[in-house]
């Protein structure tokens, strides 16, 4: 196999590899990617001397480098090991490093790479404990990372967005979001929240779920979400029909609401029209709206620990709009 050096310059290769320090350096670069500072420590040489010898090996195509800020890491290039002369040099370098105890010092050096991180996180334990309350400021970054798990995420519609709390979850997950609420003042708060987070992919629309005509111009979405909205609707079945019409064929409808309860104070204090819905009742409403694959799942109580409705049981309706029209499909 042809070497990394042209035949008319092979003499340079022999000249460069005639230095024992370069043989050790080559063997270490084949063993692990090290910074110049780390190589200096392992070899017991000055950084300037290591840099000079590494430059000679890099010039002939044996080593590659990677910069991390002010640090330079070097490694053996894969093609170099195809050269018979370099393979012999590597074996000689490995023997020299083994005899000098260089390889024995590598595990300790690797362990010390994260010493600063260990110290940092040990010191920040108290702060981390304090941060256990509430969600992290970097939550949008985590959601953006998870967005690839959603197969269809071109458009999400949230009905009854209020001050936009759920938008902080939806905006990083979907390429586009349309958020509806019938109160302009609430939409203004949602706009402030979005601006603070820097979300530019959300359109705020003043519209009322209970007025079907206000939803007619909406595009069909991959996901339509209504969080604690249906119990305010004068006609829950019609509300679910209106939501279902906003879902594209094959798309999903998600409804978060209360299980049936008997707390009459919610009517006066929160203007609730309905005291929740039983699972079977909610499933029947969804089926009547022409949806399929209907499921109702209870939300664990610790997931909603505070607020005037924290004492109630919450559940989630998930359903799909059929891909083929039928007599049960919403008008």
Question: CATH number of the domain at 139-320, out of 3.40.50.300, 3.50.50.60, 3.10.180.10, 3.40.50.150?
Answer: 3.40.50.150
Task: Give 127's pLDDT tier (boundaries 50, 70, 90).
Answer: low
CATH architecture entry for 7-125 = Orthogonal Bundle (1.10)
Task: Give 6's pLDDT tier (boundaries 50, 70, 90).
Answer: low
Cα separation, 95 vs 99, whole angstroms = 6
What residues contact residue 319 under an 8 Å CB cut-off, 6+ apart? 244, 252, 253, 286, 291, 292, 293, 294, 295
Query: Do residues 83 and 3 make contact, with C-beta atoms less than 8 angstroms apart?
Result: yes
CB atoms within 10 A of CB 157: 29
Beta-strand pair 34-35/292-299:
unpaired
Task: Identify which of 152, 147, 207 has the alpha carbon closest to the alpha carbon of residue 321.
Answer: 152
Task: Give the model's pLDDT for residue 29.
Answer: 96
Fold identical between 7-125 and 139-320? no
Task: Give the model's pLDDT for residue 327.
Answer: 47
Q: Break the chain into its structural domains and give their ranges.
A: 7-125, 139-320
pLDDT of 126 strictly over 70: no
Task: Give the model's pLDDT for residue 329.
Answer: 45
DSSP H helices, the chain, are 10-16, 20-31, 36-43, 47-59, 84-100, 102-113, 115-123, 125-130, 139-146, 167-173, 184-197, 236-245, 265-270, 279-288
Cα separation, 149 vs 56, whole angstroms = 47
Q: What is the mean pLDDT of the chain?
A: 89
Task: Give the model's pLDDT for residue 135.
Answer: 75
Cα separation, 14 vs 62, whole angstroms = 13
Task: Give the model's pLDDT for residue 328.
Answer: 45
Range of weakest confidence among 22-26, 219-223, 323-327 = 323-327
């Amino acid at each position: 196999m042809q070497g990394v050096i042209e035949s008319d310059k092979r003499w340079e290769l022999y000249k460069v590899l005639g230095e024992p320090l370069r043989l050790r350096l080559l063997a270490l670069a084949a063993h692990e990617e090290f910074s110049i500072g780390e190589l200096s420590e392992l070899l017991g040489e000055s950084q300037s001397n290591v840099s000079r010898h590494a430059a000679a090996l890099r010039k002939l195509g044996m080593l590659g480098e990677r910069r991390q800020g002010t640090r330079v890491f070097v490694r053996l290039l894969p093609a170099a090991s195809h050269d018979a002369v370099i393979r012999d040099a590597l074996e000689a370098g490995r023997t020299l490093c083994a005899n000098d105890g260089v390889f024995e010092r590598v595990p300790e050096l690797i362990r010390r790479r994260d010493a600063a991180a260990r110290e940092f996180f040990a010191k920040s334990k108290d702060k981390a404990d304090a941060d256990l309350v509430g969600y992290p400021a970097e939550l949008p970054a985590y959601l953006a990372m998870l967005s690839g798990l959603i197969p269809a995420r071109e458009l999400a519609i949230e009905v009854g967005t209020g001050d936009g709390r759920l938008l902080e979850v939806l905006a990083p997950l979907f390429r586009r979001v349309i958020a509806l609420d019938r109160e302009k003042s609430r939409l203004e708060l949602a706009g402030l929240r979005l601006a603070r987070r820097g979300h530019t992919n959300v359109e705020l629309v003043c519209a009322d779920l209970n007025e079907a005509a206000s939803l007619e111009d909406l595009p069909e979405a991959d996901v339509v979400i209504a969080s604690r909205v249906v119990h305010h609707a004068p006609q829950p079945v019609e509300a679910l029909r209106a939501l279902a019409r906003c879902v594209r064929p094959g798309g999903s409808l998600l409804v978060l609401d209360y299980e049936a309860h008997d707390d009459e104070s919610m009517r006066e204090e929160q203007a609730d029209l309905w005291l929740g819905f039983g699972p079977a009742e909610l499933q029947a409403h969804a089926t009547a709206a022409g949806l399929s694959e209907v499921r109702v799942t209870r939300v664990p109580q610790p997931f909603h620990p505070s607020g005037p409705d924290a004492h109630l049981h919450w559940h989630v309706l998930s359903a799909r709009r059929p891909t083929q029209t039928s007599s049960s499909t919403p008008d």
